[in-house]
Amino acid sequence: MKKIIAVILAVLMIIALVACGADSRYTLTYGEGRLVTVQVNDESKNLVGAFCEFTNLSGETCLPCDAVNVKAFQNGKELSVMVFTGTETDGYLQCDTSIQSGTTAKVVWLFQPSDESIVLIEFSDGQKFSVEIK
């Protein structure tokens, strides 16, 4: 009986560690979504930005785009993410910028809209937001 209880407790501890580990290594807080104009070479692009605050609690340096999944949809179809390495957008770092452990940073994910209809943004933790871009 003691062995069964010990096995059950061990399994419950493993489940608790796995469940907490995925959520506790990073936090992503949505600030706002809006249309932004980004200069790419000699061309201006109107993109939808998901402006967030990312906190790295993992113990290692990481890229926000590798740590959490942010997707955008328009008319039921996934939009292409646009990353301009080494640049900032309105004071927010690109999602492919390394963030050291213990650091909170303002980070943006940029998406190419297909038209002026509502954009739905989804985080891998289940959060969903809509952005009007008219």
> Does residue 121 contact residue 129 with C-beta atoms inside 8 Å?
yes
At 114, the pLDDT band (50, 70, 90 cuts) reads very high
Residue 38, amino acid: V
Q: State residue 110's pLDDT score.
A: 97
Strand partners, 70: 123
Q: State residue 75's pLDDT score.
A: 96
The correct answer on CATH 1.20.120 for the domain covering 26-131 is: no
Segment among 1-15, 16-30, 45-59, 104-118 with least mean pLDDT: 1-15
Task: Look up tokens 């963030």; give the residue.
Answer: 99
- Average pLDDT of span 19-23: 43
Q: Is the pLDDT of residue 11 over 50?
A: no
Residue 114, amino acid: S
**What backbone phi and psi angles, to 5 degrees, belong to 44?**
-95, 135
Q: State residue 87's pLDDT score.
A: 85
Higher pLDDT, 56 or 2: 56
* Residue pLDDT, tens place only, 62-88: 999 999 999 999 999 999 999 988 889
In a 3-state reduction of DSSP, which class is residue 9? helix
Residue 93, amino acid: L
